[in-house]
């Protein structure tokens, strides 16, 4: 038998974290690393935040899971808080981002079905998009590396270049249900959707009666300095998938929708055994409590500006490797002139700095939103050291 007990679908690194403290991870061998990956934009409150730990421990001792057969004061409380804070009128809780996207796709299709237009079942999606690994979510991306060997995928998806409004509008026809888009593409390379592009999609949805579905799994929940990124653009979607920061390490996602968009999602149309269980809800309420503390989002904005400014200052000193900074708030990427996975490995193995690769030429910084100035300074120092001694394969 050569296959490991753990299905080998991830090219895992040799770093084996066993403990976390704030912005640091401690490995099995005692090695300490500065965590600028944040569990891929998940650990919004860092590792071991006392309020999150306390809430989970107390809820685990009280009631962990009951199924969705019964009334749920826990889910109602969090759903009401999210409804009060967002465009949404209603929320479905899931266990992951991909499931939140699945629910969003189903909600969009079901809207048109309930509206008497079942043929409007096709979502227009975008090149380099990433929506998760379920069959629905990989059908919504046209990246071959995620799709190969899993066909037949779901019909009802078309693809346009990201940030190309004319190309997206040219795909609209009598079968179009709406657009599914990450306002800031994460895995695709930290590409920010332009205001004109996102507003143009909104206008087209209003004009043609289509559903605008935002996937804010990565860019939402405080990551860019507003609760959701679309607030900064000044538009709202009809449906939105959320995950990652919502549980800040506890597996949780959500699909948010307006009352109109959710008109087809009646009893019996969707479900999840674990979705929204009391333990997940307690974690999410604790996360929201912290994010609603005075100054939390301002802190994200300030730290985002500081990190960005420091990166921009550093780049000219290492222009053999670094090109430019992109992103918003604490969702930042550096375009580099090297294979990003190799540089991420170099930073991790030689400099105790954890980053994440994205797309073909970007390294992402997605630190805990609680990061402070000292950790930002340490990050810049480590990145500079890593760049100075970098001798890896280069595209130059
Ligand atoms: N959507 C976006 C924008 C994501 O970045 C991700 C994960 O990285 C997902 C969906 C899928 O989330 P999950 O891995 O929790 O299923």
Q: How much distance in Å is there from the Cα of 132 to the middle of ligand 1?
A: 5
Q: Is 85 a catalytic residue?
A: no
Q: 130, 179, 214, 296: which one is catalytic?
A: 130
Cβ of 211 less than 6 Å from ligand 1? no
Confidence at residue 48, expressed as pLDDT on a 0 to 100 scale: 98
Cβ of 130 less than 6 Å from ligand 1? yes
Q: Is 244 a catalytic residue?
A: yes
Cβ of 59 less than 6 Å from ligand 1? no
pLDDT tens sequence across 20-37: 999 999 999 999 999 999
Confidence at residue 391, expressed as pLDDT on a 0 to 100 scale: 85
Cβ of 346 less than 6 Å from ligand 1? no
Confidence at residue 393, expressed as pLDDT on a 0 to 100 scale: 59
Q: How much distance in Å is there from the Cα of 97 to the middle of ligand 1?
A: 5
**DSSP bridge pairs for 176:** 122
Q: How much distance in Å is there from the Cα of 111 to the middle of ligand 1?
A: 23
Confidence at residue 62, expressed as pLDDT on a 0 to 100 scale: 98
Q: 111, 157, 197, 215: which one is catalytic?
A: 215
Confidence at residue 1, expressed as pLDDT on a 0 to 100 scale: 83
Cβ of 188 less than 6 Å from ligand 1? no
Cβ of 329 less than 6 Å from ligand 1? no
Q: 106, 244, 328, 382: which one is catalytic?
A: 244
The preferred substitution site among 131, 136, 331, 357 for testing ligand 1, maximizing ligand atoms within 8 Å of CB, is 131
pLDDT beneath 50, residues of the chain: 394-396
Q: How much distance in Å is there from the Cα of 316 to the middle of ligand 1?
A: 33
Nearest CA, atom 11, ligand 1: 132
Q: Is 117 a catalytic residue?
A: no
């Amino acid at each position: 038998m050569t296959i490991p007990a753990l299905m080998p679908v991830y090219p895992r690194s040799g770093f084996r974290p066993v403990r976390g403290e704030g912005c640091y991870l401690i490995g099995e061998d005692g090695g300490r690393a500065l965590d600028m990956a944040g569990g891929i934009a998940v650990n919004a409150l860092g590792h071991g935040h006392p309020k999150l730990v306390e809430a989970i421990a107390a809820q685990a001792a009280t009631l962990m899971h009951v199924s969705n057969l019964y009334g749920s004061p826990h889910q109602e409380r969090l759903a009401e808080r999210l409804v009060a804070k967002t465009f949404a009128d209603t929320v479905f809780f899931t266990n992951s981002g991909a499931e939140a996207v699945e629910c969003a796709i189903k909600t969009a299709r079901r809207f048109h079905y309930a509206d008497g237009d079942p043929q409007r079942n096709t979502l227009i999606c975008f090149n380099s998009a990433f929506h998760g690994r379920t069959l629905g979510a990989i059908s919504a991306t046209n990246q071959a590396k995620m799709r190969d060997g899993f066909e037949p995928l779901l019909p009802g998806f078309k693809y346009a270049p990201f940030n190309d409004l004319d190309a997206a509008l040219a795909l609209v026809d009598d079968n179009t249900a709406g657009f599914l888009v990450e306002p800031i593409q994460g895995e695709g390379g930290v590409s920010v959707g332009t205001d004109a592009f996102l507003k143009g999609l909104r206008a087209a949805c209003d004009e043609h009666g289509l559903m605008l579905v935002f996937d804010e799994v990565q860019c939402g929940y405080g990551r860019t300095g507003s609760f959701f990124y679309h607030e900064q653009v000044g538009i709202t979607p009809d449906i939105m998938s959320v995950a990652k920061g919502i549980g800040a390490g506890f597996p949780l996602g959500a699909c948010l929708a307006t009352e109109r968009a959710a008109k087809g999602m009646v009893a019996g149309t969707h479900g999840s055994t674990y979705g929204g269980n009391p333990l997940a809800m307690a974690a999410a309420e604790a996360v929201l409590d912290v994010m609603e503390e005075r100054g939390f989002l301002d802190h994200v904005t300030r730290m985002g500006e500081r990190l960005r400014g420091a990166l921009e200052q550093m780049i000219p000193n290492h222009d053999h490797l670094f090109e430019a900074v992109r992103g918003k708030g604490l969702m930042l990427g550096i375009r580099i002139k090297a294979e990003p996975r190799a540089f991420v490995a170099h930073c991790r193995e030689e400099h105790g700095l954890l980053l994440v690769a994205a797309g073909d030429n970007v390294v992402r910084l997605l630190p805990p939103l609680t990061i402070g100035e000292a950790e930002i300074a340490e990050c810049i120092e480590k990145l500079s050291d890593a760049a100075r001694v970098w001798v890896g394969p280069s595209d130059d």
